[in-house]
Amino acid sequence: MSIILSADSTIDFTPAELEKYHIPVVHFHLEKEGKSYFDNELTLEEMYAYTEKTHKMCHTSAPNIDEFQQHFSHLLEKYDHIIHFCMSSKLSSSYSNACTAAEGNPRIHVIDTKVTSGGIALLALYANDLLEAGYPFEEIVSRVEARVPYTQTSFQLDKLKFLYLGGRCSSLALFGANLLLLKPEIVCAPDGSFKVGKKHRGNIKKCDYEYFQDLLDSHPNIDKRRASLTCSTFDENQLKEYLDFIRKQGFEEVLFDHASPTNAYHSGPNVVGLHFLFDGPHPVAPLK
């Protein structure tokens, strides 16, 4: 019985990783000056430059029902079952659209990950571990769904300018954050919505390390199999330092991915996110 894993493009895997793990994606949309693009057709740098120049924001939107129907139909021509990973239903209509497109087909299971970005990636990779070990469709679904509440996904912002331009914070909040050098965390809450976490204060490097350490200290039962680091924009030397720091915390593997425009655009440049599972080790033994 063949099984294919599938995801929204908000999984934030590189094209090479999508190919490596055989995960086809359904792309989110970006709209710039009235023209629609898939979210792999524009770079974050292009979108940031456009907003800096015009003080206008591009719009992002989920794949529609027809796109999901075509995606699922194409995959079911080759595979017996599909496990599709969606961005949190509290953040997007993607999950609702995918469920409608699946129409209750027992060969398709749509997972509301309650997170986005590297959190989706970690759940999908756990599913891939189970798939490669020979687990059946129903058990993969059950085991992955059980880990959804234990997926830590968060981001630390540098500036609030893009949130302000997108109508997501007030001018007073923008002024205060700039004046006090505050770097707020955005955290995926248990229900899948975004909430504001801690606010670190100072230069970005200092705050990033405080953000990493606070997350690690506040989760005593981390699965050290994998962690995921995502950034909107980054300095190569700084990125190497961050990856080295996270590896030294005992993780066997640390993934790095440049966040997709859908995930990172509204937060602005210099955003960093650390993601991991915190329900302890989950070794996957091959089925006999």
**156, 183 contact by CB (below 8 A):** yes
CATH number of the structural domain spanning residue 183:
3.30.1180.10
Helix extents (H) in 184-252: 204-217, 236-247
Region of 33 (left: φ > 0; alpha: ψ -120 to 50; beta: rest) is left
Q: Which residues pair with 156 in a beta bridge?
A: 185, 272
Q: Are residues 81 and 20 in the same domain?
A: yes
**213, 133 contact by CB (below 8 A):** no
- pLDDT at residue number 106: 97
Which of 133, 148, 163 is a domain's end point?
Answer: 148
Q: Are residues 250 and 130 in the same domain?
A: no
- pLDDT at residue number 162: 62
Asked if residue 287 is part of any domain, the answer here is: no
Q: Are residues 131 and 167 in the same domain?
A: no
**Cα angle for residues 122, 123, 126 (degrees, 5° grid):** 85
Q: Radius of gyration (Cα) for the chain, nearest Å?
A: 19
- pLDDT at residue number 21: 95
Asked if residue 282 is part of any domain, the answer here is: no
Q: Are residues 211 and 248 in the same domain?
A: yes
| Residue ranges making up the domain that contains 185 | 151-277
Q: Are residues 179 and 232 in the same domain?
A: yes
Structure tokens at 47: 């979108």
Q: List per-residue pLDDT tens for the chain, 288 residues long.
A: 799 999 999 999 989 999 999 999 999 999 988 899 999 898 888 888 888 888 888 888 999 999 999 999 999 999 999 999 999 999 999 999 999 999 989 999 999 999 999 999 999 999 999 999 999 999 999 999 999 999 999 999 887 666 645 554 444 343 344 434 578 888 899 999 888 888 888 888 999 999 999 999 999 999 999 999 999 988 889 999 999 999 999 999 999 988 888 888 888 888 999 999 999 999 999 987
Q: What is the dihedral of CA 11, 14, 15, 16, to 10 degrees?
A: -120
Dihedral over Cα of 20, 248, 231, 238: its sign: negative
Q: Report the SS3 class of residue 27.
A: coil
Asked if residue 203 is part of any domain, the answer here is: yes
Instruction: Give the count of domains, the chain.
Output: 2
- pLDDT at residue number 265: 84
CATH number of the structural domain spanning residue 23:
3.40.50.10170
Q: Are residues 169 and 143 in the same domain?
A: no
Distance CA 241, CA 209 (A): 10
- pLDDT at residue number 97: 98
